[in-house]
C-alpha cells in the first residue's frame, strides 16, 4: 500500500519540508514538537468536537442532488460545508488552531489574509475564545475586501494594512512571519490552508479531516458502503480538498479529482493553474509547484475567485498529482460561473466561486450510471454576489 501522508521529515514525496530563516526556527520547532501531542489528546478532541457540533453546526449534511445527478447520469452528493457557521470550511481549522494555541500557552493570535475569509474565521474564533487577534492584510486587499475588514473589526480583531510591494497576500505573509519571529513567546500564527513550513500542512489537513470522517459515516447511512467512486474538491492552498480526501488517500477504489483555477486559461497570462503549469520551487517556507516565469521568478496568479488566487499549492496535493493519485482539472472563470448559475437554478444553492470550480469539473468526467460522487461545496456564495451579478 502506498502512503500519501506526510513522513517523519515533513515531506509528501519530494514536496513539503520547512525552508525557513533561522529567526523562525524556534517557533516552528516548538509547534512541531507539540502539535500531535495536543491535538491527539482526549481533552483536545472532546473540546474540538463539541465546538464543531454546537458552534459550527456539524456534521454538515451530505445532500443527494436531484437535477444535477440527472444531468450527469449518476448519483452526485454535495458535502455541505457552505452551511457551517461563517459560511465555509475555514472555521474548522481556525477553531482547531486557536484551541492548540491556548494549550501551548499563547495569548496572542496572528494571521494573514488575502480575500479576508481566513481573517474573518480567525477573528470569529478569537472573539469566542477571548484571544487578542491581529490580521495582516495587503493594503490593496483591505480596500478590495471592505466588508470582510469591517467584519473582522466588529469581531474585535485589529486589521493591519501592509503597504510593501504589491500590497497583497505575499507581503501580508511576510509581515505575519516578521511578527511571529519577534513575538514567538506569546504568539501563535494561524495559517489558513495546507501550506507553509512543516508541520502546518499536516496540522491543517488533520483539523479538516473531520470532513472525510463524516463522509464515511454518511455514505454508510445513505448507500450502505463507506466510500464513493469519486471525490471532487477545489484547490486554492488545498485545505477543503485535504479534509475531503484525508481518510481515503490510500483507498484506490476512490478516484480523486482536484479543480484548480484556470483563470482565463492555463495557457494564458491570467491563470492560477499551479499544478498544470507550475515548476518545482520554494514558496512560503515549503517545497512545492510554483508558477514561475522563464527566470524562475514567481508569477502573479490570477483567478476570478479570490480564494483560489494562489501561486503555489499544498505539498500533499503536489505529490498526489505527481504520483498520479489525483487528477487535476484547470477550470476557467467562465466554466466556474456557468456551473454556479446552473447549481443555483437547479438545486437552489448559491455556491462560493471557489466551490463552483469543483462543480465545473463534473463536465470533464464521463460517469457510469452506477457511479457515486461526493463533491465538497466548500462555501456559500453570499460573498460573491457582486461578481455573479456583474457576469450575468
Ligand X SMILES: *Cc1c(COP(=O)(O)O)cnc(C)c1O
Q: Which residues are catalytic?
A: 90, 112, 378
Name the strand (E) or helix (H) holding 50. helix 42-51
**In the window 354-383, what residues touch ligand X (CB under 6 A)?**
354-355, 378-379
Q: Quick one: cell of 28?
A: 516552528
244 binds ligand X (CB under 6 A): no
- Measured distance CA(193)–CA(237) in Å, rounded: 5
- Measured distance CA(140)–CA(161) in Å, rounded: 8
Q: Quick one: cell of 148?
A: 470582510
3 state SS of 326: strand
How do strand 15-16 and strand 11-12 relate by DSSP bridges? antiparallel
287 binds ligand X (CB under 6 A): no
237 binds ligand X (CB under 6 A): yes
Of these, 125, 134, 234, 373, which contacts ligand X (CB under 6 A)?
A: 234
* C-beta closer to ligand X: residue 110 or 272: 272
Number of residues that bind ligand X (CB under 6 A): 18
Query: Omega into 346 within 30° of 0, i.e. cis?
Result: no
Contact 376, 244 (CB under 8 A): yes
3 state SS of 252: coil
Binding mask 69-108 for ligand X (x = CB under 6 A): -------------------x-x------------------
In whole angstroms, how close is the CB of 355 to ligand X at the nearest point? 6
* C-beta closer to ligand X: residue 74 or 320: 320
Which of these segments, 31-39, 105-113, 236-244, 280-288, binds ligand X (CB under 6 A)? Answer: 236-244
* C-beta closer to ligand X: residue 74 or 125: 125
In whole angstroms, how close is the CB of 22 to ligand X at the nearest point? 28
CA end-to-end span of the chain = 48
* C-beta closer to ligand X: residue 80 or 90: 90
3 state SS of 121: helix
Of these, 285, 301, 307, 311, which contacts ligand X (CB under 6 A)?
A: 307
238 binds ligand X (CB under 6 A): yes
Sign of CA dihedral 279, 282, 287, 290: negative
- Measured distance CA(80)–CA(58) in Å, rounded: 10
In whole angstroms, how close is the CB of 86 to ligand X at the nearest point? 9
116 binds ligand X (CB under 6 A): no
Contact 235, 241 (CB under 8 A): yes
Contact 77, 373 (CB under 8 A): yes
Furthest-apart CA atoms within the chain: distance in Å? 57
> By Cβ distance, which residue is nearest to ligand X?
379
In whole angstroms, how close is the CB of 234 to ligand X at the nearest point? 5
* C-beta closer to ligand X: residue 117 or 187: 117
* C-beta closer to ligand X: residue 74 or 235: 235
The contact set with ligand X (CB under 6 A) reads: 88, 90, 117, 193, 234-240, 307-308, 352, 354-355, 378-379
Amino acid at each position: 500500500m502506498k502512503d500519501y501522508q506526510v513522513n517523519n521529515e515533513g515531506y509528501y514525496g519530494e514536496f513539503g519540508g520547512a525552508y525557513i530563516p533561522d529567526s523562525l526556527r524556534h517557533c516552528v520547532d516548538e509547534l512541531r514538537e507539540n502539535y500531535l501531542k495536543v491535538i491527539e489528546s482526549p481533552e483536545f478532541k472532546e473540546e474540538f468536537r463539541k465546538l464543531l457540533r454546537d458552534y459550527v453546526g456539524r456534521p454538515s449534511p451530505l445532500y443527494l442532488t436531484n437535477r444535477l445527478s440527472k444531468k450527469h447520469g449518476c448519483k452526485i452528493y454535495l458535502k455541505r460545508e457552505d452551511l457551517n457557521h461563517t459560511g465555509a470550511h475555514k472555521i474548522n481549522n481556525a477553531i482547531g488552531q486557536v484551541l492548540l494555541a491556548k494549550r501551548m500557552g499563547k495569548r496572542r493570535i496572528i494571521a494573514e489574509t488575502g480575500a479576508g475569509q481566513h481573517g474573518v474565521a480567525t477573528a470569529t474564533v478569537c472573539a469566542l475564545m477571548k484571544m487578542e487577534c491581529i490580521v495582516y492584510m495587503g493594503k490593496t486587499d483591505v480596500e478590495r475586501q471592505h466588508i470582510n475588514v469591517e467584519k473582522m473589526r466588529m469581531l474585535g480583531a485589529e486589521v493591519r494594512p501592509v503597504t510593501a510591494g504589491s500590497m497583497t497576500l505575499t507581503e501580508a505573509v511576510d509581515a505575519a512571519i516578521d511578527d511571529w519571529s519577534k513575538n514567538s513567546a506569546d504568539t501563535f500564527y494561524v495559517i489558513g490552508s495546507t501550506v507553509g513550513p512543516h508541520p502546518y500542512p499536516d496540522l491543517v489537513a488533520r483539523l479538516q479531516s473531520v470532513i472525510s470522517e463524516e463522509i464515511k459515516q454518511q455514505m454508510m447511512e445513505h448507500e450502505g458502503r463507506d466510500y464513493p467512486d469519486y471525490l471532487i474538491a477545489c484547490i486554492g492552498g488545498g485545505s477543503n480538498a485535504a479534509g475531503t480526501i484525508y481518510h481515503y488517500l490510500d483507498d484506490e477504489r476512490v478516484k480523486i479529482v482536484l479543480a484548480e483555477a484556470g483563470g482565463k486559461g492555463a495557457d494564458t497570462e491570467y491563470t492560477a493553474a499551479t499544478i498544470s503549469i507550475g515548476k518545482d520551487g520554494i514558496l512560503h517556507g515549503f517545497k512545492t509547484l510554483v508558477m514561475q516565469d522563464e527566470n524562475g521568478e514567481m508569477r502573479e496568479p490570477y483567478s476570478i475567485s479570490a480564494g483560489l488566487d494562489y501561486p503555489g499549492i499544498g505539498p500533499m496535493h503536489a505529490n498526489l498529482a505527481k504520483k498520479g493519485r489525483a487528477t487535476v482539472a484547470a477550470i476557467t472563470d467562465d466554466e466556474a460561473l456557468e456551473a454556479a448559475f446552473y447549481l443555483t437554478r437547479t438545486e437552489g444553492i448559491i455556491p462560493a466561486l471557489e466551490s463552483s470550480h469543483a462543480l465545473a469539473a463534473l463536465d470533464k468526467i464521463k460517469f457510469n450510471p452506477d457511479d457515486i460522487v461526493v463533491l465538497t461545496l466548500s462555501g456559500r456564495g453570499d460573498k460573491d454576489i457582486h461578481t455573479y451579478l456583474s457576469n450575468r
